[in-house]
Structure formats: structure tokens, C-alpha cells
Amino acid sequence: MEWEMVAGLEIHARIKTETKMFCNCSNDTFGAEPNTHTCPVCTGFPGTLPVINSQAVILGAKTALALHCEIPHFSKFDRKSYFYPDLPAGYQISQFDEPISEGGYVEFFVGEEKKSIRMNRLHLENDAGKLVHEGGMSLVDLNRAGSPLMEMVTEADFRSPEEIVPFLKELQKILRTVGSSYADMEKGMMRCDVNVSLRPKGQKEFGTKTELKNMNSFTNIEKAVRAEIKRQKEILEKGGKIDQETRGWDVIKEVSLSQRSKEEAADYRYFPEPDLPPTTFTDEGIQTLQESVPELPAAKLERFVKQYKISWSTAEILSGDPELTQYFEIAAETSQNPKKTANWILGDFLAALNEREDISPMNCVLTPQNLGKMVQLIEKGTISGKIGKEIFPELLETGKDIEKLIQEKGLEQVSDTGEIEKICQEVLSENPQMVEDFKGGKEKVLGALVGQVMKKSRGQANPQMANEILRNILGK
């Protein structure tokens, strides 16, 4: 029998706020000493009162709009009770039946094919702490407890495992473009539960799903989903039934293991959070937020290919990171040559940035204007491409103005006929054998002679001119 996969995702992303969701503790907890970013609120002391972080609400709402969700005028928080050592209050503050947003969709590309996945909702909640198991002990770190999260739930619209990672990468780009989350999976800033089921191809009803919990790398997700499809298929083909359960992916053994079945599923006893007021939005407020949503990465990718006539893969990289996008657009505007500009950015510029953790495109001392000017000077023939390559590290290091640097170092390409002719004459008299070979019909030798001229001029001679002058002298 032919089976079809059905999948839906639940994604949690840490909102990029200064403070936590309901208290004044710093939200910048990554890599901090355990339990140094805590207070009575986020450690669940009785008698404390939560206060809603408006920055988190605004960033959540803005993200929801970027996912084309509707924001109702009224939303509220609910208590979700469960008991676990990393949750000192015994409940999480989340949103149940009246979340901050509903509906929506995300457009993205699988290869160059455009897809759309419907969103069910984006809601706000706070994170739990973390358990660390070491030396036979289980330790609790509450730095993360109370951090603001947005949970984004898709409809069960995925039909093939190849669609999942491109969707998540797009979502990651959207969050970064909106500026609502760092969305790094490795740092746990974004994690994903994948719900998977199979149904006989052509059947309308969904099959029973399993949930792969807390996936935190793109590679693992793809592997885990494929393995889960295979596992379910084997059971179904033997006439078995799928247990509705939560499974965890063992990264080392590359198998999923059952963690919790439906029978053991928690009853969260949701009820409206009595300590918090509802959240309200006016039409004007929503409109203002809508206007602040930047161009989405998928739209930008399409625009880049059309407007700048660059390849799909180049546009994918340049549109993927908001700072890189900004850098490229400014540099291309200055150079008036987007293709060449893209080559420099993807090549020497990104290579240098990859080596240095501390610089990002827009805080690099080599400004996009300066890089754009360099591309233009090369195109105009003021300097050679070779010289460009040579001085690039210095531009990156010092941020010196390219025109000043060229003047200081006397690097202008020599386009003075007389001067090049002089060098050509010298080269010809130093290489009589080559001259003879050329006259005897070995056209290739000319390239080597041009090379000699370039070398003698320390890369500054205009190579086209050198070529022409050599031919003239040699009478060809």
C-alpha cells in the first residue's frame, strides 16, 4: 500500500526581550552561572505577582502579523498545571482558548518551488527551568524559568519530510527579520515538536499521530521524521495500530523512544490566570504594528532574483540574514553592479566574517559604501581586480576609505599607453624565445607575455591594454 505522511509542527522560540516574561530578571541568560538570573517571581514563591512584559507582547504580536495571523482585540493568559522539578510554581502561564493570535500562513520555498503552510496560532507563555543530570545528581537551573516564549502551531499541512526543514529555516529567518528572536536551535532559542502520522494515499481522515518532542537541530529533525515514518509504516503494514504517544529522538542511536502515551497524558486543568489582566489591542494599535512588519525573507528572495538579476542560490544567502541584506543593498546601490557586489560579499567578505565571531556585516569597519565603491573602481578600471583582492584584508582591518588607500599606495591601474609600452618593450627584449615562439604561430605565448607585463607593473598595468600593445609591437 502507498502511504502519505501528514505532519504538523509546534515551535517554541525565545522572545528577544531584555527582561523575562513576568518579572524584571534579565533574559540574557545564555551561558550564565546557574541560578544567577532569578527572583521570587520566576522561582515561583507564593504570594508573588507576575507583571506582563509589554515588549514580549509587542514582539509576539508583530511576529504573529508576519505569519499573517489575526490579532483579536481581546486575549488572556491561562494557568497550565503540571508537576516537574524545573517548574517551581507547579504551573506554567500560557494561553489556552483566547490566545494573542489565530490563523495565518507561512510561504517558503522547497528548492525553487513555493509552498504555503497554514498556521493555527501563535501564543505567548513562559519557559520552565532546566534539569542538569551530572555526577549521579539532578540539579535545577532556573535561569531560563520565566523567559518569554512564543509558541507557534501549524496546521497539519506537511505532506513530505522534505518540506519540514525548509519551513523551519524560513520561520527562523522570519523571526530574525522581525527581530523577535535569535532563533538559534543550537542554543535552544528555538525548538520544535513534530507531529507525524500516516494514512493510506487517497484517504481523507488523518491517521493516529505521534509527537517527536523537543527537536533542536535541522539534521536531527529530518532524520527523526524519516525514521518515524518508517517505524509507523512497518507497524501499519503488519496490520498494527499506532499508539498516540510522545517520543524522544536519541541523537546517538538515531532511534526514537516512547516517552509518554496518551493514557498517561497530563490533564493540565487550564483556567484563566487570576493574577493577570487580559491583553487588549485596538484596531489602530494592530494597524501600527502591521506597518512595522518588515519585508519577509521569501518575498525578499524573489525580489532579489528579479531586481538584481542574481542567481537563486546567491539571493538565498543574501536575503537570509537581515544585516547581510542591508549590507548588500547599500553596497549594490553604491557600486551599481549588484552581481559583482554579490560575488565580493559571498566570497572575501563572508569568508572574513566567518573567521571572526565578533563582527557582523553592519558593524564591520569596511562599510557597504566603501565595498561598493571598490567594486565600482574595479569596474571602471581604476584598479585591477587583483589589486582589489590584495588590499581587501586591509580594508577589512582598517576601514580606510578605498580611494584614499589607492592614492596613498599609488595603486591606480596604469592605463597610460606610453608607460605600458615601455614595460612591454622590456618584457619582449627579456624573452626572445617567447617572441620567436609567438611569431612561429604559438598564440598561447601572448598570455604569458601579458603575465610578465602584469608582474613587472606590480599588477597595475591594464591587462587589455598590455595585450593590445604587445600585439601591435609584434605586428599581429
* Contact residues: ligand ADP, CB under 6 A: 6-10, 153-156, 195-197, 206-207, 209
Instruction: Name the residue nearer to Zn ion (CB basis): 86 or 419.
Output: 86
98 binds, among Zn ion, ligand ADP, none (CB under 5 to 8 A by kind): none
CB of 145 to ligand ADP, least distance (A): 23
Instruction: Name the residue nearer to ligand ADP (CB basis): 155 or 184.
Output: 155
39 binds, among ligand ADP, Zn ion, none (CB under 5 to 8 A by kind): Zn ion
Q: Which of 39, 242, 305, 346 binds Zn ion (CB under 5 A)?
A: 39
Task: Cell 569597519: give the residue.
Answer: 365
Instruction: Name the residue nearer to ligand ADP (CB basis): 6 or 453.
Output: 6
Cβ atoms within 10 A of the Cβ of 207, count? Answer: 19
25 binds, among Zn ion, ligand ADP, none (CB under 5 to 8 A by kind): Zn ion
Chain-centre distance for alpha carbon 339 = 22
CB of 91 to ligand ADP, least distance (A): 18
CB of 8 to ligand ADP, least distance (A): 2
Q: How far is CA 111 from CA 37, 114, 162, 163, 442, in A?
A: 42, 8, 10, 10, 47
Q: Which of 9, 42, 69, 318 binds Zn ion (CB under 5 A)?
A: 42
23 binds, among Zn ion, ligand ADP, none (CB under 5 to 8 A by kind): Zn ion
Instruction: Name the residue nearer to ligand ADP (CB basis): 10 or 321.
Output: 10
CB of 169 to ligand ADP, least distance (A): 18
Whole-angstrom distance, CA of residue 380 vs CA of residue 415: 11
- Which residue minimizes CB distance to ligand ADP? 8
| Of 54, 41, 43, 174, nearest in space to 106 by CA | 174
| Of 377, 354, 352, nearest in space to 366 by CA | 352
**Segment contacting Zn ion by CB under 5 A, of 41-49, 102-110, 257-265, 359-367:** 41-49
Whole-angstrom distance, CA of residue 411 vs CA of residue 385: 11
Whole-angstrom distance, CA of residue 121 vs CA of residue 61: 11
CB of 181 to Zn ion, least distance (A): 20
Instruction: Name the residue nearer to ligand ADP (CB basis): 7 or 42.
Output: 7
Cβ atoms within 10 A of the Cβ of 259, count? Answer: 14
Helix (H, G, I), strand (E, B) or coil at 264: helix
The distance in angstroms from the start CA to the end CA of the chain is: 73
Cβ atoms within 10 A of the Cβ of 173, count? Answer: 22
153 binds, among Zn ion, ligand ADP, none (CB under 5 to 8 A by kind): ligand ADP
6 binds, among Zn ion, ligand ADP, none (CB under 5 to 8 A by kind): ligand ADP
Instruction: Name the residue nearer to ligand ADP (CB basis): 120 or 172.
Output: 120
Instruction: Classify residue 274 by burial, with Cβ atoms within 10 Å: 0-12, 13-18, 19+.
Output: exposed
What 315-324 contacts at long range (C-beta under 8 Å, 24+ apart), as own/partner pairs, is 317/346, 317/350, 318/342, 318/345, 318/346, 320/173, 321/173, 321/176, 321/361, 322/176, 322/177, 322/179, 322/294, 323/360, 323/361, 323/362, 324/361
Strands (E), 95-225: 101-102, 105-110, 113-126, 130-134, 137-141, 148-154, 190-200, 210-215
CB of 74 to Zn ion, least distance (A): 27
Counting every residue, how long is the chain? 476
**Bridge-based pairing state of the strands 130-134 and 137-141:** antiparallel
CB of 210 to ligand ADP, least distance (A): 9
Instruction: Name the residue nearer to ligand ADP (CB basis): 9 or 383.
Output: 9
Q: Which of 6, 23, 89, 345 binds Zn ion (CB under 5 A)?
A: 23
Report phi then psi at 363, rounded to 5.
-105, 10
Instruction: Name the residue nearer to ligand ADP (CB basis): 9 or 454.
Output: 9
For the record, the C-alpha cell of 198 comes out as 500516516
Whole-angstrom distance, CA of residue 65 vs CA of residue 438: 69
194 binds, among ligand ADP, Zn ion, none (CB under 5 to 8 A by kind): none
Instruction: Name the residue nearer to ligand ADP (CB basis): 209 or 373.
Output: 209
For the record, the C-alpha cell of 474 comes out as 609584434
Site string for Zn ion, 286-325 (x = CB under 5 A): ----------------------------------------
155 binds, among ligand ADP, Zn ion, none (CB under 5 to 8 A by kind): ligand ADP
Find the Cα–Cα–Cα–Cα dihedral 181, 99, 70, 128, rounded to 10°.
10
Instruction: Name the residue nearer to Zn ion (CB basis): 42 or 185.
Output: 42
Site string for Zn ion, 136-165 (x = CB under 5 A): ------------------------------
Q: Which of 6, 25, 221, 366 binds Zn ion (CB under 5 A)?
A: 25
Task: Judge contact between 101 and 180, C-beta under 8 A.
Answer: no
| Chain contacts with Zn ion (rule: CB under 5 A) | 23, 25, 39, 41-42
